[in-house]
A and B are shown apart, each in its own frame.
Chain A
Amino acid sequence: MLEIRNLHASVEGNEILKGIDLTVQPGEVHAIMGPNGSGKSTLARVLAGQEAYEVTAGQVLYDGKDLLEMDPEDRAREGVFMAFQYPVEIPGVGNTYFLKAALNAVRKHRGLHEMDAIEFLKMVRGKMKLVQMDETLLNRPVNEGFSGGEKKRNEIFHMAVLEPRLCILDETDSGLDIDALRIVADGVNALRAKDRSFLVITHYQRLLNYIVPDFVHVLVDGRFVRSGGKELALELEEKGYSWLEGMTPEQIAAQPVGA
């Protein structure tokens, strides 16, 4: 599904990602953890194709295709979805209107007929239940004046509607209250499928109690310093990043996985 090889990326001349390797198989959930500023969002944005980030070395294959060659909208149409850490407000543009335009762009690309308003609304109702979206949020402008938690929930709602194949969730849990966390996690779990993979960026083990990952990777200073199973997250929660940060990246990198 996704294969990242030796990915280096910089922004405004500063190297942020310093050699990322990652392989994600269909149906897998990979959690990415790491301290603030370590490059988690940068990795997500590079995969989604944000222009400000320059890839200086490495390769990313998505379904065998060169992902980095594609425009961001084509990546989205091919099934790459990123739930933003900070969802963007678009004043005056209704959430449903926006989502219908998005869905039809995606459907058109996939050779499916474009949905009319009636068909779309019927489908949307089902998806709303999935994340228990408040009806009023449908008709309000995209993210405008949404609370932090509402914005995050809206991202998962978009994801549910667009049915992507690679879902990148950037700190979707931060800003959610306990109930909302549960609801969003249930929504994500409902979307787990054999041919759909997830990259879940989070600071908290708590989310991973609900969305149980197949793998956990720890990103420090632009590199994965540790990878393991779900128990790695527990260990991190207990010991903190300082447990890993006490060492130079070179030292960490030299350690055998699971040490």
Chain B
Amino acid sequence: MQTTETSTIEQFAAQDYKFGFVTDVEQETFPPGLNEEVIARLSAKKGEPEWMLEWRLKAYRHWLTMSEPTWANVHYTPIDYQSISYYAGPKPKGSGPKSLEEVDPEILKTYEKLGIPLHERAILAGVAVDAVFDSVSVATTFKEKLAEVGIIFCSFSEAIRNHPELVQEYMGSVVPYTDNYFATLNAAVFSDGSFVYVPKGVRCPMELSTYFRINARNSGQFERTLIIADEGAYVSYLEGCTAPMRDENQLHAAVVELVARKDATIKYSTVQNWYPGDENGKGGIYNFVTKRGKCDGANAKISWTQVETGSAITWKYPSVILKGDHSVGEFYSVALTKGYQQADTGTKMIHIGKGTKSTIVSKGISAGHGQNTYRGSVRILKGADNARNFSQCDSMLIGDQCGAHTFPYIDVQNPTARMEHEATTSKIGEDQIFYCNQRGISTEDAVSMIVNGFCKEVFRELPMEFAVEAQKLLAVNLEGSVG
């Protein structure tokens, strides 16, 4: 506690936002603006087949008929979609890097600063990395090893080129291009992202991980990720994010689709630490994400775990469609808001199959002027006999200028459903802090200890290294929040 964590805190304090640096790479970037021609150029740039462009254009035309949602408990100045550049990427040298040696050394340095375990570090950590640098994937490790067992782990662009039948079958099958304003925009202009396919009966031998990074000024990022676990397969996927310091708000509208077939399990973990804006709330990332999984077969299981500490605004509801009988959906979440951060996050569990089961554990922590909203909906449809849901939403307040809001929506259409809901709101206790102080523990360490204790049920769900990182993140982010 004292050495490692305190020194980490000091480092962070000295560096402000540690990852707030800008990489100096020659970039090819589209001028700001959005229309069909821009989309066609984007698609051409990426060498996409005709069907992909058609899909993008369909989405774009639909998007023009939609308006931005206003129901979330977040406030921001309107986004000018014409002022965003929809393509940015390092200039290709020849036909693009074939190995790490060919990758721009500046980019490699950036990864190093971000602590991405490439080279031997990756092997030691047992992590395969598909790193997204702006819009172009520049490095993928372990692909061969995964290929041995038939697993496909590549960039979305590569998947479009090399596995068009899989992409066409599954893309939009969970989040249709008409789904919502931000998902539809993503369908039209998505830049890149990750693609995973785990074949029947294969247990993925390592945690898959990807690091996102927003680097180019005003280039909104539109990641698209698709993960498919075929019958009886298992995969655990980690997503971690950092972004450089910026003045302007940067839009991030990602889409993640998960498909778990019969007896398959997908575990998707996120630690999100994007730039939240300065102490006055200026700058920071707008994070409007659509994440959804489908349990498409009996006994399928999808588990979302997220630790959200960054972004100026977070709008995010990882959801599960429980279609297969006895399928399982889980959502474990820690959301921390401080300064002027706003988070409206939660989940949707849609019970369709018989004996389906969902668990929701949400921990919201608000400090400073942070506003934290849990918005969750559980729907038990007519055919979902003996469905069960357990929801637990706990809020912790640090100081008295922040807020916590809980909006649980429940729609039960089958009388055999069993629903349990618990909600608590607590203030971090003076008496708890004093008790720690009396044992020699500083107030800062006490706060991070108490908050980490509060979040334990969620951290337990994270892979080991991620759990450690998440705890550090919370400690750093809570610094100075109790006077």
| A binding-site residues for B, Cβ under 8 Å | 48-52, 71-73, 76-77, 81-82, 84, 87-93, 98-106, 108-109, 114, 141, 158, 162
Contact = CB atoms under 8 A, between A and B. Distances in A.
B167 interface: no
B431 A88 contact: yes
B456 A84 contact: no
A100 B449 contact: no
B3 A93 contact: no
Nearest to B455: A92
A84 B437 CA distance: 13
A52 B440 contact: no
Interface string B413-440: 0000000000000000111101111111
Given A73-B437, A101-B445, 15 more contacts: A48-B434, A49-B438, A50-B434, A73-B438, A73-B442, A76-B438, A81-B438, A88-B429, A89-B432, A90-B435, A90-B436, A92-B452, A104-B1, A105-B1, A106-B440
A92 B439 contact: no
A88 B446 CA distance: 13
B164 interface: no
B441 A93 contact: no
Given A84-B435, A100-B1, A104-B1, A92 B440 contact: no
Contact of A90 (B3, B438, B449, B457): B449
Nearest to B459: A92
Nearest to B454: A92
Contacts of A141: 453
A105 B2 CA distance: 6
Contacts of B436: 73, 90, 98, 102
B450 A90 contact: yes
Contacts, number: 88
B443 interface: yes
Nearest to B457: A92
Contacts of A71: 437
Contact of B456 (A92, A104, A162): A92
A101 B1 contact: yes
Interface residues of B, number: 26
B437 A162 contact: no
A90 B443 CA distance: 14
A216 to B, nearest CB: 25
B432 A90 contact: yes
B439 A76 contact: yes
Contacts of A102: 436, 439-441
Contact of A98 (B431, B439, B457): B439
21 contacts: A48-B438, A52-B430, A73-B441, A76-B440, A82-B438, A92-B457, A93-B449, A93-B452, A93-B453, A98-B449, A101-B2, A101-B441, A102-B436, A105-B2, A105-B440, A105-B441, A105-B442, A105-B445, A106-B440, A141-B453, A162-B439
B3 A101 contact: no
Contact of B434 (A51, A100, A158): A51
Contacts of A51: 430, 434
Name, among B430, B436, B450, the residue most crowded by chain A CB atoms within 10 Å (CB to CB).
B436
Contact of B450 (A49, A93, A104, A158): A93
Name, among B430, B434, B443, the residue most crowded by chain A CB atoms within 10 Å (CB to CB).
B434
B1 A72 contact: no
Name, among B434, B439, B454, the residue most crowded by chain A CB atoms within 10 Å (CB to CB).
B439
Given A93-B449, A104-B1, A105-B2, A87 B435 contact: yes
Contacts of A73: 436-438, 440-443
Name, among B441, B455, B457, the residue most crowded by chain A CB atoms within 10 Å (CB to CB).
B441
A71 B438 CA distance: 9
A52 B429 CA distance: 13
B8 to A, nearest CB: 14
A72 to B, nearest CB: 4
Contacts of A114: 2-3
Contacts of B456: 92
A111 to B, nearest CB: 13
Nearest to A104: B2
Given A48-B438, A71-B437, A72-B437, A91 B454 contact: yes
A83 to B, nearest CB: 10
A102 B2 CA distance: 9
A51 B483 CA distance: 12
Contact of A49 (B431, B437, B449, B454): B437
Contacts of A72: 434, 437-438
Given A72-B438, A73-B437, A158-B439, A91 B453 contact: yes
Contacts of B432: 88-90
A251 B434 CA distance: 37
Contacts of A105: 1-2, 439-442, 445
Name, among A89, A103, A105, A108, the residue most crowded by chain B CB atoms within 10 Å (CB to CB).
A105
Contacts of B445: 101, 105
Nearest to B435: A88
Give the 10 A-B residue pairs with the shortest CB-CB distance, closest first: A92-B453, A101-B1, A93-B453, A102-B439, A92-B456, A72-B437, A88-B435, A76-B440, A105-B440, A106-B440
Nearest to A77: B440
Contacts of B1: 100-101, 104-105
A162 B452 contact: no
A49 B435 CA distance: 11
B364 to A, nearest CB: 15
A2 to B, nearest CB: 16
Contacts of A98: 436, 439, 441, 449
B434 A162 contact: no
A59 B449 CA distance: 33
A167 to B, nearest CB: 12
Contacts of B429: 88
Contacts of B440: 73, 76-77, 102-103, 105-106, 109, 162
Contacts of B455: 92
Name, among A77, A81, A98, A162, the residue most crowded by chain B CB atoms within 10 Å (CB to CB).
A98
Contacts of B454: 91-92
Contacts of B438: 48-49, 72-73, 76, 81-82, 84
Contacts of A99: 439
Contacts of A76: 437-440
A6 B66 CA distance: 75
B424 to A, nearest CB: 10
